[in-house]
Structure 1
């Protein structure tokens, strides 16, 4: 916990820190965020502060380093996004996108025809990314039950995907045990 003199000195530095931040980024909201982050980092790192140095120099360096790092990170993200978009634009295949969309619709229709217990577990784990334990607690069943329901749903889905020689409606009727 910083002593009272150090706290008071940090508070006195706030207007100067904000002015410096504003000169760096030329945006009042971003400057306020920079000052807040600087203060948070300074307080968190007080054990690294050398009392024989000037507090203002130390805090200005924290602010400047954070600003420069965030600018560099933003530039890297923008560059990576541009590269990803170039790959996307060059590799976009409308026919393939339509085929994928149709296949997704078929899979969604298949999932709707699963037994409710199996469908619920499949969606919660495979789509929502929830853990077996969370799903078991929510459904008030043992984890083993969740595991077996998921295995049954995945097996039926795998069988359905492997049988490509019949129409989707026939596949649905055969695998769900009922009428689609």
Structure 2
């Protein structure tokens, strides 16, 4: 992509070295549409999911203080979330037991996804607070996103389409079956 000439800029600002991809459809996410209304446990999806059966809730594994669940809006196939059962927003508010289990479960999620789908890498992360990108800031969750060379492409931006090679239920079944039984 070549930067616009001065004539093409037509008064839209000074030319700089940055190329830009405009994604105006993301404004819905930024404005918080479709997110829980109050952030209370009563409408928190991460508090409601554990009450569902594993298949319905897309739960891959349940521990003592935390659980692993497929992301309903995945960045990539096999995108898991590790969530404490307790409704807690900030990482520093986790108990020692919760911190240990979230960490151990994140490691096991990586091992399990590697066994099932052989990713070439991972993105791990927690977004703390709305301004940091937390979609549901009221309930802490750790992202475990498998990555492959070439997995980021033009389809989501240009075609507003995310290409997923497998249904979430099938992915959950494979990951749950591969997760070690305790």
TM-score range, shorter chain: under 0.3
Question: TM-score, with normalisation over the residues of structure 1?
Answer: 0.26
Higher helix proportion, which one? Answer: 1
Higher strand proportion, which one? Answer: 2
Question: TM-score, with normalisation over the residues of structure 2?
Answer: 0.26
Structure whose alpha-carbon radius of gyration is higher: 1
